[in-house]
A and B are shown apart, each in its own frame.
Chain A
Amino acid sequence: MNPLWQNIFRSRGYENTLAYFLSTVPAFSKLDKRDLAVLEHLVHVRNYTADEVVFSEGDIGSGMYIIRSGQVRIYTQDDLEQTTDKAVLETGDFFGETALTASRPRCASAKATESTVLVGLFRSDVEEAIRRHPLEMAKIMFGLNRVISDRLLQCSLQLDKLMKLYGTEQQ
């Protein structure tokens, strides 16, 4: 068949829905369909062009972003306007989660390197949803907590390693 005519009359499969995408994110992998439906109505899908700033260091943050497609560069900037890359994130990664629980200034900047679709989860929506769907929200926040705890564990392990290295160097 001519590729021009493919897929036109086929209905959008479940694989294309936002709920399916969210279920592939590690933090939300253990949610069932009901929880995913709640989450789906909670998040905002935002489109970014290439080189568009998502947020800058020092902004008051109000939530986290999950990358649905595209690529995001996380970097910091010193007083001399020199940028240091911290990470380059791809589809399925999330960033900015420190601002989800309290309004903290962003500790790094984020910029889309290509045209990117982000899924935003924001504090005010979460607070409202906790009142309306406490059970589902508990599961969603538990999933996020699991991933963040994993990161913390990795961090402390690395810190231990570094401390040991530093100790042997000093001796």
Chain B
Amino acid sequence: MTGQSGGLNRAQVAVLYLVLTSAIASGIAIYSSASTITALLKTATTGLFLPILLSLIVAFLLDPAVQYFEKKKLNRTLSIFIVYLIIGLLMALLLVLIGPPNWKAMAQALKADFPRYIGHAIDYLNGVLAGLHQHFPIIKNYDLAGQLRSASQSFVGLILVETPKSALRLGSLMLLVPLFSFFFLRDSRSIMRGLISLSPNRYFEMTLDIYARVSWQLAHFIRGRILEALIVGLVVYAGLSLTDIRYTPILAMIAGATNLVPYIGPIIGMIPGLVIALVDLGVGGQFWWIFCVYLLIAQIVVDNFILIPILISRVSNLHPLWVILAIIMGGKLYGVLGMIIGVPIASILNIIIIEIRRYRRSLNPYNRLFSTRGRIL
């Protein structure tokens, strides 16, 4: 303390000044280096998210097959190689049987047809808008058609530009995904054991139990979802190939992929098929059959009544609000891909939270005396 209370002498002011400046300078330095480090990390990890996610999914899908071979007293690495070999052979067989897909012709046909479909859709929309305008004159004559047209043109341009790029990415995916999933399949157990063994003794058993439950639920959820999408795609393919509609394989793939997104996905997956049917076949028996295939057979009968009760457990059901939020947030982060994988990721988080809560509930010693609805057992 100096003599004057409240005031500081010159030396103290100098020290304070130095300390403050150095603090601010080091703060700025830390902040900038931290942001450069995060930026570096970000650039280093861009494009890794998708391959890792895909290879995790592939690993989850292939695990039962690998286990099947392991049961025959083969070691795990060999079993994985055998599974890979079988899949490779199946793909080769498929290529030989069907022949390599004629990408060029398909792309050219799509390039020619796409504007036509969009044009028809726009005409139809214009008709609807004109009708609306007649009935509700309050609505401004909004130039929806023009906007749609320019949007579709830019979309086609985007496809043309992005195709070589995405082909490159597809190539790297084809290389990375099998590699990553090989290591995930072989070493995930030891990696997870290592991580779990880090937990302190007191919480070790709990961690192990929760991990086992979460991984079981996750495996079932992922396998169920993929299988569901596959079957819905096949059903749509079978249903559409009964009609004269073109691009059946692409439409079936779209229907299967969008089926991964609950509630909204199937509706969006329907639109391209319906537009093509409307333009090429017109409103008639075939159009209504296609509509039935999409909505009644694929969605209601096959998906809701057969697949979901069998494949997907009730645990992983998300509230519709969360589904919509996940779709919006996924779309903001990763575009269309984010919309598709946003909901599964939200469901995975949901499963983790539910399993932790369930475990905590089972920790309650009085829990055994009551049912889940509070009735005495």
Please report A residues at the B interface, Cβ cutoff 8 Å.
44, 46, 48, 52-55, 58-63, 103, 105, 120, 122-125, 127-128, 131-134
Contacts and interface: CB of A to CB of B under 8 A. Distances in A.
Given A60-B363, A124-B212, A128-B212, A46 B70 contact: no
Given A58-B365, A103-B362, A127-B212, A122 B205 contact: yes
Given A60-B362, A124-B212, A55 B205 contact: yes
Interface string B53-80: 0000000000000010011000000000
A122 B70 CA distance: 21
B205 A62 contact: yes
B201 A63 contact: no
Nearest to A46: B201
Contact of A61 (B71, B205, B365): B205
Contacts of A54: 201
Given A46-B201, A52-B201, A58-B365, A124 B208 contact: yes
B67 A62 contact: no
Which of A60, A127, A131, A134 has the most CB atoms of chain B within a 10 A radius of its CB? A60
Nearest to A45: B197
Contacts of A127: 212
A5 to B, nearest CB: 33
B365 A105 contact: yes
A48 B71 CA distance: 35
B201 A134 contact: no
Contact of A133 (B70, B206, B362): B70
Question: Which 6 A/B pairs are nearest by Cβ-Cβ distance?
Answer: A124-B212, A62-B205, A62-B209, A132-B70, A58-B365, A122-B208
Contacts of B209: 60, 62, 103, 122-124
A171 B372 CA distance: 50
Nearest to B64: A131
B65 to A, nearest CB: 13
Interface in B17-74: 67, 70-71
A130 to B, nearest CB: 10
B319 interface: no
Given A62-B205, A105-B365, 12 more contacts: A44-B193, A48-B201, A52-B201, A54-B201, A60-B206, A105-B368, A122-B209, A124-B208, A124-B209, A125-B212, A132-B67, A132-B70
